[in-house]
Amino acid sequence: MSSSIDAILSPEQVAYRDRLRGLVDKHILPRCAELDESMTVPWDILQMLSRESVLGVVIPQKYGGLGKRNDGRDLDAIPVCLSREQLMRGSCNVDTLFAMQGLGTYAIIAGGSEELKQTVLPPVAAGTKLAAYALTEPEGGSDVVGMETTAVKSGDGFVINGRKTFISNAGIAATYVVVAKTDPSKGAKGLSAFVVDGDTPGLSATEPFDMLAPHIIGAVTFKDCYVPVSRLLGTVGEGFRLAMASLDIYRASVGAAAVGLGQAALEESVSRALARKQFGQAIGEFQAIQFKIADMATQVEAARMMVYRAAKLRDMGMTPIAREASMAKLFATEVAARCVDEAVQIWGGLGVCKGVRVERLFRQARALRIYEGTSEIQRLIIGRAVLREARKAAGQ
C-alpha cells in the first residue's frame, strides 16, 4: 500500500509498515470488538507482536529490541509512529499496550543504569511483562511541576509518598517509571524519576476506572514506598528532563495513533457508502456522501504528513521539536474527532448502536485530545514557540 509519506520513509520502513498492516488485518481486526471492550490483557496478541518484531521498535537492540542508530542515539520516532498508526487502525487497546511498553521504558533507556536496563527491558521487548508511566496526579495533570508526590532521601534510597491517577496498566504492570519531587523548592529541577517494581511494599493500585472506552487504567498510591538509589534514573533533579524527552517521541506518536483511528473511520465510511442502498442506489453515489469522504481522506492525509514530518525531524537530530510534535498531536487528534463524527453520520442510526465499530471509534477518539497534553496545552506550546521565534527574529 503506497502513501504520500513513502518519500520520507526508508525502504525498510515502508516494508515494515506494509508487513504490520498485514498482521493487523490478519490477527487484530477480526477480533477488534473483543479486544476493545475487554478489561483483560491479550497476552497472545502482545507476544505475537514480540515475535513479529513490533515491540522491538521501542527497545534498543542491546536489550532484546531492534532500536539501533548510527549516531548512537536511542530510538527512531518513525517506526514508533508507524506502529501506532497501524495498531490503532486495528484496535485501540492493542495500540495502548504497545504505547505503554515504550512510554513506560523510555526514561529507563535514557537514564537508567546498565544493570537496570538489562533487568527491566528484555521482558518488555518479549511481551512477557508490562510497563507503566506514573506522571499524572489528581491535582497535577498538565501542571507537571505542581505534582505533590514526594521522594525523600532515606539511607541508601528514597521513600516515595503520593498518588498518581489515570495510569494505564495500573495494577498489572511489572515496573512503573515514577516522577516525584525530591526538592520542592527547585521547581522543575526538583523532580526526579525512579523505577518502582509493581510488587514493592507500599505500592497499591485501584480497580480499573470505568472509562468511556474501556481499557486497564486506574490510580496508583505510594505509601512509605522505599526504593534503593540504584532505581534512580539519571541524577537527582533530572526527572523533568526525562519526562519531556519521553514526550518528544511519544507525543508525536499520539498523533500517529489518531491518524490510524481516522483511517479506520474512513475505511468504515467507504465500506458503508458502497454497501448501503437508498433511493435505488448506493449512498456513495450521492454528492453529500462523496464530499464527506473527500474531506475525511484529505484531513487524514494532511495529519499523516504532519506526524511523520515531526518524527523525521526528531530522527534527523533536530531538537527540541516540541512545537512540531505539538502541532502534529493537536491537528491529528482534532482530525480524528471530526472523521469519526462523520463516520457515525454516514452509518446513520446504526452508527450510534453498541456493537457497531464506528460507535466504538467515536468513544475512543475522545481521549486522544486529553492524554499526553490536552489540545489547549498543545496550543499554548505552539503559540509560545511562534512568539519566541518572532522576538528572536526582531532581535528582542
Q: What is the pLDDT of residue 118?
A: 95
Distance CA(305)–CA(312), nearest Å, equals 10
Q: What is the SS3 string spanning 246-291?
A: HHHHHHHHHHHHHHHHHHHHHHHHHHHHHHCEECCEEHHHCHHHHH
Q: 305 and 204 share a domain?
A: no
Q: What is the pLDDT of residue 357?
A: 97
Q: 16 and 156 share a domain?
A: no
Distance of CA 252 to the CA centre of its chain: 8
CATH number at residue 77: 1.10.540.10
Helix (H) / strand (E) containing 92: helix 92-103
Q: 247 and 233 share a domain?
A: no
Nearest to 7 by CA among 213, 312, 252: 312
Q: 296 and 279 share a domain?
A: yes
Query: Quick one: how many helices (H) and strands (E) in the chain?
Result: 12, 10
CATH number at residue 323: 1.20.140.10
Q: 142 and 63 share a domain?
A: no
Is 372 a catalytic site residue? yes
Give the residue from 114, 129, 144 where a domain finishes.
129
Q: What is the pLDDT of residue 72?
A: 42
Residue 85 lies in a domain: yes
pTM, entire model = 0.95
Residue 97 is given by DSSP the state H
Q: 278 and 372 share a domain?
A: yes
Angle between helices 239-275 and 287-315 (to 10 degrees): 150
Residue 201 lies in a domain: yes
Q: 266 and 379 share a domain?
A: yes
**What's at 324, amino acid-wise?**
E
Catalytic, out of 34, 268, 372, 376? 372
| Containing structural domain, residue 9 | 4-129
Q: What is the pLDDT of residue 71?
A: 42
Cell for 300?
A: 487524514
Q: What is the pLDDT of residue 70?
A: 44
Distance CA(319)–CA(55), nearest Å, equals 25
Number of structural domains found in the chain: 3
Mean pLDDT by 10 residues, the chain (396 residues): 81 95 97 94 96 94 77 76 98 97 94 95 96 91 85 96 96 97 94 97 94 95 97 95 84 96 98 96 97 98 96 87 94 98 97 96 97 93 94 88
Residue 396 lies in a domain: no
